[in-house]
Amino acid sequence: MVRKLMILLIAFLLSLPAFSKDFKVNVFGGRNSVVVKQEGDGTIENDYLLKVGSRKYKFKLKGDQMFRVENLKEKSYKVVLKQGDKKSSFIPYKAVVQVYGNKYQKKISPQQPSETYLDREIDELTIIWKDTPESNEELGKYIGAEISYLNLRNQQKHLLLAGQRNTVVTTSQDVMVRLAYIPKQCIDTFYTSSFAVNAREISLEDKWKSFSLPENINVCIDDSMRQSSIIQLYAKILLDKPENDPMVVATEHKAENVNELVGNFDSFYKRVILRVVNVLYAPGDDIINIKQLTNMVGAMVKEKEGFDGATPAYLSHHQGKARMKLNAPYLENYYKRSNFNVLKNEQIGIFLHELTHAYQHYPNYKKTENADHYFVGLEGMADAVRFIAKGFGDKERIGAGLQGEKSEKKWLTPYRVSACFLMWLRNFDGDFVRKFHHTIKEIDHWSFDKAIHQILGEQYDAEQLWNLYLKDVKEEALEKGYLK
């Protein structure tokens, strides 16, 4: 019995990857091939002797190189790998390696998703798999769905995404999909045949029909602004009326220095809230519940509120009650410099930003890597919601990218600069901003880099992605005539 256990132990050890202090090497099956893969110091070159069945091969590997024996039949092969240097302490690698080919390819087949929809509010096509293809002993590891699509610059792109929900950023309803698997102890990825997916368009209201909006919404103004013409313009925006509409909105005294606008303004606020939630969450997520929203309109008082006259707005919330203060003099000045329609877009954009603060997860300031990371997680996220929900235009988006190149803090520059970088990272995963938002809650000592590693993998880092982003922004700026 002891002798049998010893034989099994030796056989197991011989099948493990071989190591030295400078490198490790392993043997895999592949597509009609056997592959020797080395990982190690790039300055050292090793001689190898490989036996696959009855055939022998001599070769050298340096650093992270591979050697591939090709044109093999799909079956199991006895493999022995030795190092050419007889004095080496390298332990010979002996194993039975499976080579894969057409027989395996026929075992994997396309699987239609349970739902596919295009959300034109945020230019996202989402594929839902009711039963996500699973890894198993026969098929090996399921890697994900490779989606081929046209991005917002009309470029052909391919994204390999895992999980039950896959999202790409596009305006097209049509994409091509194929599923990816890696067989057991195989180094190559196998794909099913491609199949077309046609997405239905989904409305914001249909997508979020089960979401609980605030039960109570109040619009209040300070006594000092009661007779201001900007309040009437503000009310017209809330009611989606043109500037020349003769409507006059009444006010009702509620408390000291507080007057409530009389009218049904709920539809405006509820739609803005849906636009915010639509960027931060996916249907079925656990969403922060806001039961009451109070919108105050008046002048900022720095001694009392801590914000000066240049501040457009601020929001605070506690135990399901949110209070947003909108700076009426800011709106007046904005209107004087522009026009009613521009004011309307700015006001909606302000609401997208501020209401994000009601529904977003906040980084733990004490446990965040530093203040720069904290403000990206807070203000960068709020502006990212505004950009994705189309509260800013292309000019502002590209301008923020070009501005970011000049910033010492780079991707840690809060507000628009970090927001546009977050938005661009959806090119790697259409759900990136949503997942980034969730990492704020999931990662204890949260940082931008940790979030990237969790979402995209350890092979990516912020600096590398930032440089790719700047290159992409400049190309788009030239295309659209913002740079000459």
CATH 2.60.40 for domain 104-202, yes or no, is yes
Mean pLDDT lowest among 39-43, 70-74, 279-283: 39-43
Is the pLDDT at 391 greater than 80, yes or no? Answer: yes
Mean pLDDT computed over 351-375: 94
Amino acid found at 476? E
DSSP one-letter code for 377: I
Structure confidence at residue 483 (pLDDT): 85
H/E stretch holding 68 = strand 66-69
Kindly indicate the confidence band of residue 314, based on its pLDDT and cuts at 50, 70 and 90. very high
Mean pLDDT computed over 325-348: 95
Domain ranges of the chain: 2-99, 104-202, 208-359, 361-484
Kindly indicate the confidence band of residue 9, based on its pLDDT and cuts at 50, 70 and 90. very low
Mean pLDDT computed over 99-125: 95
Structure confidence at residue 29 (pLDDT): 97
Structure confidence at residue 137 (pLDDT): 76
Is the pLDDT at 482 greater than 90, yes or no? Answer: no
Mean pLDDT lowest among 48-52, 129-133, 156-160, 333-337: 129-133
Rounded to 5°, angle at Cα 124 from 122 and 130: 135
pTM of the model: 0.90
CATH 2.60.40 for domain 2-99, yes or no, is yes
Structure confidence at residue 8 (pLDDT): 42
Is the pLDDT at 426 greater than 70, yes or no? Answer: yes
Is the pLDDT at 19 greater than 70, yes or no? Answer: no
Structure confidence at residue 14 (pLDDT): 41
| 208-250 pLDDT, tens digit each | 999 999 999 999 998 888 788 999 999 999 999 999 999 999 8
* Structure token pair of residue 23: 């490198």
Mean pLDDT computed over 255-278: 94
Residue entry with tokens 């950023």: 169
SS3 33: strand
Structure confidence at residue 259 (pLDDT): 92
**Alpha-carbon gap, residue 104 to 71, rounded angstroms:** 16
Cα of first residue to Cα of last residue in the chain, in angstroms, is: 80
Is the pLDDT at 124 greater than 80, yes or no? Answer: yes
Kindly indicate the confidence band of residue 11, based on its pLDDT and cuts at 50, 70 and 90. very low
Question: Of residues 173 and 46, which shows the higher confidence score?
Answer: 173
Structure confidence at residue 368 (pLDDT): 85
Is the pLDDT at 451 greater than 70, yes or no? Answer: yes
Mean pLDDT of the chain: 91
Same fold: 2-99 with 104-202: yes
Q: Do 118 and 128 form a contact (C-beta atoms < 8 A)?
A: no
